[in-house]
């Protein structure tokens, strides 16, 4: 094992430990939180090392980068997650590669994913991305637009909505971060009650290197972590 691979394995173990402690503080089971390694800053060697360290769910935020890396690492059993904005003209190429699209941020993208998943004869697991902080530099649905969109889900039989994805505020400190994550969970709880039959929004993808423990305490089922794994 190279030094870099050893360091990554130690980071994975340390992050998993911190997730378990945060889960315990909230009376949750550590297995209820899935770790996604965000690999947008790193190359193929680091990606192989993180998979070897037991984390085979990888997240990329750019469709073209995901496609390139998936081709180079096709020998590994990776589950790919797209976590960044998806343009409609990229859906056809990305959909066959990914386990989940976490970043559905408009009705138009939802419609495109549904149509192309139908053409490919599959169902596409997705999360709806919410701009919970309201910061203009963030992508995602306005929180008040999520419920109306969920009410239309019956029209999209080829998407399998699994929950919500969000990022916390950049500004505002740790109270604001906790309030953002709690707001995402409360939004999910509220809309789950009025969901079309068969729609289960169980997943909450929230928490990055700087705030994942707070996210887990507030109910995250998926954390997306880059720098803390590769530093």
Reported as type and span, the H/E element at residue 123 is none
Tell me whether residue 219 or residue 226 sits nearer to ligand PLP (CB atom): 226
CA distance 192 to 213: 24
CA distance 71 to 60: 14
Residue 83 CB, nearest approach to ligand PLP (Å): 4
Is residue 208 involved in binding ligand PLP (CB under 6 A)?
yes
Q: Can you read off the two tokens belonging to residue 51?
A: 């998979």
Reported as type and span, the H/E element at residue 133 is none
Phi, psi of 188 (to 5 degrees): -60, -45
Is residue 131 involved in binding ligand PLP (CB under 6 A)?
no
Q: Which stretch binds ligand PLP (CB under 6 A): 15-23, 92-100, 173-181, 208-216?
A: 208-216
* The one among 66, 83, 177, 222 contacting ligand PLP by CB under 6 A: 83
Residue 135 CB, nearest approach to ligand PLP (Å): 13
Q: Which residues within the stretch 22-81 sit at the binding site for ligand PLP (CB under 6 A)?
A: 38, 40, 61
Q: If we measure between CA atoms, which residue out of 67, 60, 16, 64 comes closest to residue 42?
A: 60
Q: Which residues bind ligand PLP (CB under 6 A)?
A: 38, 40, 61, 83-84, 208-210, 224-228
């Amino acid at each position: 094992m190279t030094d870099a691979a050893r360091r990554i394995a130690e980071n994975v173990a340390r992050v998993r430990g911190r997730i378990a402690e945060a889960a315990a503080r909230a009376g949750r089971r550590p297995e209820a939180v899935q770790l996604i390694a965000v690999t947008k800053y790193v190359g193929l060697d680091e990606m192989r090392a993180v998979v070897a360290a037991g984390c085979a769910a990888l997240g990329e935020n750019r469709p073209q980068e995901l496609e390139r890396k998936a081709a180079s690492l096709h020998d590994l059993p990776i589950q790919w997650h797209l976590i960044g904005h998806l343009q409609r003209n990229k859906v056809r190429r990305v959909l066959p590669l990914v386990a989940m699209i976490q970043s559905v941020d408009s009705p138009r993208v939802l419609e495109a994913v549904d149509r192309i998943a139908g053409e490919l004869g599959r169902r596409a697991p997705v999360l709806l991305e919410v701009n919970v902080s309201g910061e203009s530099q963030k992508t995602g649905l306005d929180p008040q637009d999520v419920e109306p969109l969920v009410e239309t889900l019956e029209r999209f039989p080829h998407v399998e909505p699994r929950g919500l994805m969000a990022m916390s505020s950049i500004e505002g400190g740790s109270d604001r971060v906790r309030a953002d994550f709690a707001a995402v969970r409360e939004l999910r709880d509220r809309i789950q009650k009025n969901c079309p039959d068969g729609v289960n929004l169980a997943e909450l993808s929230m928490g990055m290197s700087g705030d994942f423990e707070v996210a887990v305490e507030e109910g995250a089922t998926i954390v997306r972590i880059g720098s803390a794994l590769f530093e």
